[in-house]
Each structure stands twice: as C-alpha cells, then as structure tokens.
Amino acid sequence: MIDPVVPMQPVPRDEPFDDPDWLYQIKWDGVRILAYLEDGDVQYVNRKLRPRTANYADMLMVKEQVKARSVVLDGEMIGLGADGKPSFSAILKRDLVKGADKIRKAIARQPVFYMVWDILYLDGTWLLDEPLWRRQERLAAVLEPSERVQLLDNYDSGTELFRVMEAQGMEGIICKERQGRYVLGEYHATWKKVKNYRHQQAVVGGAILKSGLVNSLLLGVYQDGVLLFIGKAATGLSAADIQALTQFATQLPPQPSPFANLPKLSVPAYEQTVWFPPQLVVEVRFLEWTSDLTLRAPIVLGFRQVDPKSCIL
C-alpha cells in the first residue's frame, strides 16, 4: 500500500474575494479523508493518519470509478441532515463508530458521500509539484463521478459563492490558487478558507472551574419562558474576563441550575460546576446548531448589556 501522507490544510481568511488567479469551491462540512487505491485495493485514511476503511466499507465502489492502477485522492466524507444539507453531527455518527456490529448498523442508517477535490498520486508518480489546475485535469481524466462519489465544482467568484453559502446556511468556501502546488502536512496560503459564522446572544447560566479558575461558560437561551442549555464555550475569554468571572463565581452563594433541561456534564473530579443567576449575557460566534440543539465551535465575542430575556432562539 502507498504510505499515507498528512494532507495540506487551508489558512483562515475573514472575507471572501475575487481574483482570476484563484478558483473557489464549496466548503463541505464533513471529515477529511484521503483514498489510497492500488491494484484494486482501497484504503481510507483520515488527516491524522488513522484508518477509516471499515467505517466507510460501503464506499469501496470508488475503485470501479477510477481508471488508473494506483491513485491517492483527497476529499471529504459528508453526511446529510434531515434538511438535506451537510451535517457534521451526521458524519460523526459514521466516523466515530467502533466495532463491526455498530459500524454495520451505522452504515445502514446514515449514507455518506465522498466529495473529491484533488489527486496527489497517479500510477507511481507523486503530483505534488504540479499546479492545481493541472492536477484537476488529471483528476477529471481518471475519476468517473457517481451519486456517492463526486468531483467538486469550481467557481470563478468567491464573493458570489459565499453569498450563496450564507443564504443556504452552509459552512463557507475554500479559495485555491490555480497555480498552487500541494504542500504536504502544512497549513499553506495557497488554500484559504472563509467560514460562514453565525451569531447568538446567550445567557450565562453557570461556569466550569478548573484549578480554581473559570475555564468555560455554560450558555442558554429562552424558549417559551424557560432557559434551555445550548452548550459551553471557553474560546474567546480574555485573562481579565476569567479573573472577573472567577471572582463572581467564588463569591456567589450556592445557586440552583437555571436551565430547564439540566445539562449532562461530564466534569472530572479536579473541575467544579458553579451555577449563576441568569443575569449575564454574552455574544457568541459559532458554526452551526447541532442535532441536539447545542452550539458547534462557539467563540465568546464579549459581554452585552441587554435584557437576558431577549436571548431567544
């Protein structure tokens, strides 16, 4: 088998742009997977070099679509949510499953799709130093798309594509330099990602303390007059925020949980959960709502002087 490699990663960018020297693709909300095909054998490996062939055993048909003896394909496995859009929680139900019986059941419940955007190796030759446009020509020549294995489309306008992703509530776009080479194992500026973040004002209903300091905030929003837990957030808190919140938390008398749906928190013995009265409000930026109505990848932007009751879904 071809030795697995660590794929290239895009660097973040705040705003979309247009440039004739670049092409633009949809950023699919899935799991990065490289496919290694050699003499009829197929191996799927994730970006951390962990095998995933068993988890995607229903996707071995990719070998029937490849017109070459050996290739390495770069792409992403995605799953669809109930709304027909890519769902990160849906693909995790396939990617994280362990055990043959559980994997078989997951395959039956959750179909996946392999979105392919690059070819790194072809019939004994690495293509890393070829420009992207040339690698894409080679990819189109050797891979026949199907319903479950698809080639990504290119778009000429990053700003227009991003507007569509915003309107559809999808994750964002990837911008790629047409002449760019493929740099293994690095975050490289020849690829840039622009994410479609969402915003939510949320009530701070508690905090988790680690080594005596506030480590993360427990957040909620009101629905039908009750406060619902929507997840915890740590990223974005400044040292001053942590100091002030820790002082607030340690001076509070014991409080009941303000959440109607008491969160099931797995808190190690060296951490402590402290409940707050529902009076502090933060604004958070996040990627999406998960299927269990919690925030994915929330970042605290700051505190807001608004009525906590105004924090609704």
* Same-domain pairing of 157 and 207: no
CA distance 283 to 299: 9
* Same-domain pairing of 190 and 133: yes
* Same-domain pairing of 95 and 223: no
Average pLDDT over residues 126-137: 98
Which domain CATH number covers 281?
A: 2.40.50.140
Give the model's confidence band at 291: pLDDT under 50 very low, under 70 low, under 90 confident, else very high.
Answer: low
The last residue of one of the domains, among 195, 223, 255, is 195
Tell me the per-residue pLDDT of 145-177, one tens digit each, with 9 for 90 and over.
999 999 999 999 999 999 999 999 888 999 999
**Domain range enclosing 286:** 198-310
Q: Regarding predicted confidence, which is higher, 296 or 300?
A: 300
Please answer whether residues 178 and 21 qualify as being in contact, where contact means their C-beta atoms are separated by less than 8 angstroms. Answer: yes
Which domain CATH number covers 86?
A: 3.30.470.30
Output the pLDDT for position 270.
Answer: 65
Q: 71 lies in a domain?
A: yes
For the whole model, what pTM was predicted?
0.79
Average pLDDT over residues 2-14: 95
C-alpha separations of 312 from 157, 158, 224, 269 in Å:
35, 33, 9, 33
Average pLDDT over residues 230-253: 93
* Same-domain pairing of 129 and 206: no
Q: How many residues does the chain have?
A: 313
* Same-domain pairing of 147 and 43: yes
Average pLDDT over residues 189-193: 97
* Same-domain pairing of 158 and 74: yes
Output the pLDDT for position 267.
Answer: 67
> Residue 88 pLDDT > 90, yes or no?
no
Give the count of domains, the chain. 2
The dihedral formed by the CA atoms of 262, 268, 271 and 275, expressed in degrees to the nearest 10: 10
Average pLDDT over residues 197-202: 92
Of the CA atoms within 13 Å of residue 225, those in its CB half-sphere come to: 0
Average pLDDT over residues 225-240: 93
Closest CA to 8 of 71, 59, 75, 66: 75
* Same-domain pairing of 214 and 305: yes
The last residue of one of the domains, among 195, 220, 252, is 195
Q: Regarding predicted confidence, which is higher, 211 or 184?
A: 184
> Residue 17 pLDDT > 70, yes or no?
yes
* Same-domain pairing of 275 and 155: no
Element (DSSP H or E) covering residue 243: helix 239-251
The last residue of one of the domains, among 156, 179, 195, is 195
Average pLDDT over residues 189-196: 96
Q: 4 lies in a domain?
A: no
CA distance 12 to 1: 33
Q: 80 lies in a domain?
A: yes
* Same-domain pairing of 149 and 163: yes
* Same-domain pairing of 185 and 216: no
Output the pLDDT for position 269.
Answer: 64
Output the pLDDT for position 296.
Answer: 87
> Residue 105 pLDDT > 90, yes or no?
yes
For residue 310, give both structure tokens: 């105004």
* Same-domain pairing of 179 and 220: no
